[in-house]
Structure 1
Amino acid sequence: MSDRANTLAIETKGLVKTFGKTRAVDGVDLAVPAGTVYGVLGPNGAGKTTAVRVLATLTRPDGGEARVFGHDVVREADTVRSKVSLTGQYASVDEDLTGLENLILLGRLIGHRKAAAKRRAEQLLDAFGLTEAAGRQVKKYSGGMRRRVDIAASIIRTPEVLFLDEPTTGLDPRSRNQVWDIVRIIVAQGTTVLLTTQYLDEADNLAGRIAVIDHGKVIAEGTPGELKASVGSGSVHVRLRDAGQRGEAERVLSANLSLGVNLEADPVALTARVDGNGGGAAEQASLALAALARSGITVDEFSLGQPSLDEVFLALTDHPATDDAEKEAVA
C-alpha cells in the first residue's frame, strides 16, 4: 500500500444523504483506522448501505464531507475508485459462467493479460476453497460458495479499502464462519475493511471498533468492550422452570436491579443488566436471585457475564438490531 498504515482510511464529517423527505444518512461522523475491520452496526433502514454507496462514489452526498485515504469522494472520485472495492448484499457475478470464468473475465476487465488473469483467478479460488467448484456454473453454487466467489471477485486487484455490505445475510452458520475467516485473511494482508452488518455477533467477532447507527445517525462508537461497558458492568441471564412466572420474575428483577430487564425469545428466559454500583456485579446478581427465590420463582439456570452487543443495541435504541420494519432507501 502506498498510504501510511497509521493514517485514517476513511473519514466522514457531518455526512448527509437524503431521498425526498427521508434523511437516510443524517450527519454521520466516522474515523476508520487503516488496516482494521471497522463495523457499522444497525438494523435494516438504519442508513448503512446508503453510507457505503456514498463512500464508494456510487451516490453523491447532499452534505458534509467524506474522504478515503485523504481523497474527497466527490472531487476526487476517480482516485477513490482506484483504491476501493465493494461487495454488496447480493452476488454481482454472472451465474451462467463458472467461478473460474467469472474471475478471469474480471481480471481481463481490469487490464490483466489472459495468462495473468487465469493465474490470479486460480489463486483466489484455491485460497477461498473453491478449486473443486471452479468449473461449475455459479448458479449451481450454494449460498456460501456464491458469497465467497463474490468476495474473491472484489479482490482480483487487492484494494486498499474493501466495503463489505452485510456479507453474510442469509448464510448458514458454517458459511458465515468461512466468510469471517476470509475477512481476517484480507485484513492481515493490509486491506482496510468497512463491514456493515445487522448481526451483533458478526461485529463482535470481526471489528476492532464499531459505530452503532440508527435512523441515519451514529448513536454510539467504540471498541466492542467499550460499548458493552457503557450499558453496565455485568448481565444476569436467567432461565425459569415455569414460563408462567416470567412476568413476576421481570417485576422482581426490575425492583432489585437498577438497569433494564430484557425478555428473551425463549419463553422462560430473561436477561437483566447489572451496573455494579453499591456492590459488585456478582453481589447484586446474588441478591436478585435471592429475591426471586423469596417470591417463589424457581430458577433452573443462571449465569453472570459481560453484556452482549444485543443488550447494548437494545439499551441504546429501545429496539433489537434485527428489527427490519423499515426498508432502507438506496439510490
Structure 2
Amino acid sequence: MNQQTTQTLVKRRLASKSIAILQDWDLYLLAIPGVLYFVIFKYLPMWGVLLSFEDYSPFLGFWESPWVGFKHFITLFTYEHFWELLRNTLLISFYQLLFFFPVPIILALLLNEVRYLVFKKLVQSVIYLPHFISWVVIASMTYVLLSGGGVVNHLIQASGGHTINFLSAPEMFRILIVSQDIWKEAGWGTIIYLAALSSVDPMLYEAAVVDGANRWQQMWHITLPSIRSTIIILLLLRLGHVLDVGFEQIFLMLNTLVQNVGDVFETFVYTKGLVGGQFSFASAVGLFKSVISLIIVAGANWLTKKSGEEGIY
C-alpha cells in the first residue's frame, strides 16, 4: 500500500467520523457535562501529585517551591510507625473484604427467593435505609449504645454482669468498624446484585425443577453462576480501594486507647497534612496509596482474565 492510498483511507475515516458526529450531535452535546466533570475534577487535579516531590510552601506557590525528589517517600518508609499504619489499614480492609463483601450477595440471594412482593419490597427498603444516615449519626448511636454508661452496659449490669469497655478495648475496634459497615452499606449493596439477578432467564429454573433440582441446587448451579461476572467486577473495584478504609468512620471512632490498632493512612494524612501543615508529605502518602491500589487492581484483573473471566479493562 503506497503513501497516497494510506492518506486516502485516513481521509475517508476522518470524514466518516465527522459525519457520525454531525448525525448524533445532540448525544455528544449531552455528554459534554460528564466529560467536563472528569476533566476538571479527575484529570486536572492529577498535577497535584507533583507536591509529593516538593517542599511545598503556600507562600512560594506550586511552581516556586523547592524540588526535593523522593525525600518525603523516604521519610514515610523510615517512619517508626509506618508498618503499624500499613498493618492496621490492611487488616481493616481485609476484614471488610472477608466479612462485609459477601453480605450483600447473601442478602440479594435471600431476597430473590422471597415470593411475596410486598414483603420483599419492605425488607429491601428497611435494610438499605441506613445508607442515607451519616457516619456522624452512626458514631453517636454507637457511643450511646456501647459506651461505659450506654444502653448495652446498663442491660449487662441489670442482668448481674460487669461493664464491658467496647469503645476503649483494642480487640473490639476492628469488630465495631466492620459491624458498622455491614449495618450501613450491606442493604445498599444488594441493589446491584438484585438487578443482576433480574436478568436471569426464568426458564433455567423451570428446567432445573423438571430435572428435580431443589432450591439450594438452583441457587448454586444457576443463580450464582449467572451473577459471577458482577461479583468479580465489584470485587476488583473493591480491591482498588484496599488502602481506603473510610476516613470519616475511623476518625469518629478513634480514641487514644485504640490508637495503636485504629490509626490508618487516612487519619495519618489528616494529622500530618491538614493539622500539621505538611502538605507535600501528606501528598506523598496519598500517591503511595494510589500506586499500591493500582498494582493490586492490575494484578487481580490479570488473574481474572487468566481464569477465563472478563476483567474491568
Does TM, normalized by the shorter one, top 0.5? no
Which range, TM-score by smaller chain?
A: under 0.3
The structure with the largest strand share of the pair is 1
Higher RCO structure, 1 or 2 (CA under 8 Å, sep 6+): 2
Q: Over alpha carbons, which structure has the higher Rg?
A: 2
Structure 2-normalised TM-score? Answer: 0.23
